[in-house]
Amino acid sequence: MYSHLFKVACILMLGTWVNLAADAAQPQTAETEAGLPLPASTTEDTGTATAGAPDARPAPGVPGGLKRLEDLNLLSTALVDKAGSGSAAAHKFRIEARMYRELLRQTMLSNREQPANQQLPQPLLLDMVRMSALLHAAADCKTGFIISCPADLMQQLRSQQDRVTQGLKMTRMMYD
Amino acid sequence: MNATWHQFVTAVWQIVSESAFWVIASLLVGGLVHEFLPSSRFRALLIRKGQVAMLGAIAFGAILPICSCGVIPLAISLYRSGVRLGPVMAFAAATPIINPAAVILSLALLGPQITIAYVILGLVLPYLLGLIAERWGEPLEIKPVAEAPACCSGTQSCDPAELPAPGTRLLPRIAAGLRWGFTDLGPTIAFYMTIGVLLAGLIAAFLPATWVDSYLRDSSGLALLAAGVLGASIYVCAVGHIPLVASLLATGAAPGISIVFLVTGTATNLPELIALYNTIGKRTVVLYVSSLIVGAILAGVAVNAWLLPGFEPVFDPLRSLELVDLGEGLYPTTGNVVSLVSTAALITLAGLGTWRWVAARIRRRSAADGSGDSCCSG
Other Cβ atoms within 10 Å of B178 Cβ, number: 18
Q: Are B246 and B265 in contact (CB under 8 A)?
A: no
CB within 8 Å: A137 and B11: no
- Residue A160 at interface with chain B, using a CB cutoff of 8 Å: yes
Distance from CA of B311 to the nearest CA of A (A): 15
Collect all residues of chain B within an 8 Å Cβ-Cβ radius of residue A104: 321
pLDDT digits (tens, 9 = 90+) for A55-81: 445 555 666 788 889 999 999 999 999
Q: E strands of chain B, at which residues?
A: none
What is the predicted pLDDT for the residue at B225? Answer: 85
Q: Are B261 and B116 in contact (CB under 8 A)?
A: no
Question: What is the helix (H) or strand (E) element at residue B325, kind and residue range?
Answer: helix B317-330
Per-residue CA distances from B117 to B108, B121, B216, B263, B306 (Å): 14, 6, 17, 11, 10
Q: DSSP 3-state helix, strand, coil percentages of chain B (rounded to 5)?
A: 75, 0, 25
Q: What is d(CA B166, CA B324) in angstroms, rounded to the nearest whole number?
A: 46
Which residues fall within 8 angstroms of residue A165, CB to CB, at 6 or more apart?
A: A73, A77
What is the predicted pLDDT for the residue at B125? Answer: 92
Q: Are B353 and B194 in contact (CB under 8 A)?
A: yes
Which residue does chain A place closest to B343, by CA atoms?
Answer: A144
Task: Give me the residue from B243, B316, B328 closest to A134, CB to CB.
Answer: B243
Q: Which of A51, A49, A46 is nearest to A70 (CA)?
A: A46
Distance from CA of B345 to the nearest CA of A (A): 14
What is the predicted pLDDT for the residue at A172? Answer: 86
What is the predicted pLDDT for the residue at A46? Answer: 40
CB within 8 Å: B324 and A129: yes
Report the pLDDT averaged over residues A20-45: 38
Q: What is d(CA B63, CA B217) in angstroms, rounded to the nearest whole number?
A: 31
Q: Are B164 and B184 in contact (CB under 8 A)?
A: no
> Which of the four pLDDT bands, split at 50, 70 and 90, describes residue A165?
very high
Q: Could you give the 3-state DSSP secondary structure of residue B252?
A: coil
Which residues fall within 8 angstroms of residue B154, CB to CB, at 6 or more apart?
A: none
- Residue A112 at interface with chain B, using a CB cutoff of 8 Å: yes
CB within 8 Å: B317 and A86: no
Domain boundaries, chain A: 4-175
CB within 8 Å: A133 and B336: no
Per-residue CA distances from B342 to B37, B164, B199, B321 (Å): 26, 29, 21, 32
Residue B137 C-beta-side C-alpha neighbours within 13 Å = 31
What is the predicted pLDDT for the residue at A3? Answer: 52
Backbone angles phi, psi at A41, to 5 degrees: -65, -15
Collect all residues of chain B within an 8 Å Cβ-Cβ radius of residue A163: 250-251
Task: Give me the residue from A90, A127, A148 closest to B250, CB to CB.
Answer: A127
CB within 8 Å: B244 and A153: yes
Q: Are B19 and B200 in contact (CB under 8 A)?
A: no
Collect all residues of chain A within an 8 Å Cβ-Cβ radius of residue B13: 143, 148
What is the predicted pLDDT for the residue at B347? Answer: 93
Q: What is d(CA B297, CA B270) in angstroms, rounded to the nearest whole number?
A: 19
- Residue A91 at interface with chain B, using a CB cutoff of 8 Å: yes
pLDDT digits (tens, 9 = 90+) for A91-138: 899 999 999 999 999 999 988 888 877 888 888 999 999 999 999 989
Question: What is the helix (H) or strand (E) element at residue A48, kind and residue range?
Answer: none
Q: Which residue has the higher pLDDT, A8 or B122?
A: B122
Which residue does chain B place closest to A143, by CA atoms?
Answer: B14
Cα angle A151, B292, B27; round to 5: 75
Instruction: Give the pLDDT of chain B (378 residues) as one tens digit per residue.
Output: 577 788 888 888 888 888 888 899 999 998 998 888 877 777 776 677 778 888 888 988 888 888 777 888 888 888 888 888 888 899 988 988 888 888 898 888 888 889 999 999 999 999 999 999 888 887 655 544 444 444 444 444 444 444 445 556 788 888 988 998 898 889 998 999 899 889 888 888 887 767 766 766 666 778 888 888 888 877 777 677 888 888 888 877 888 888 888 888 888 888 888 888 888 888 888 998 899 889 999 998 899 888 877 777 767 888 888 888 888 888 777 777 888 899 999 999 999 999 999 999 898 888 887 754 544 443
Which residue does chain B place closest to A98, by CA atoms?
Answer: B325
Distance from CA of B75 to the nearest CA of A (A): 26
- What's the sign of the alpha-carbon dihedral B11, B15, B16, B21? positive
Collect all residues of chain A within an 8 Å Cβ-Cβ radius of residue B243: 130, 133-134, 136-137, 156
Collect all residues of chain B within an 8 Å Cβ-Cβ radius of residue A155: 209-210, 212-213
- Residue A142 at interface with chain B, using a CB cutoff of 8 Å: yes
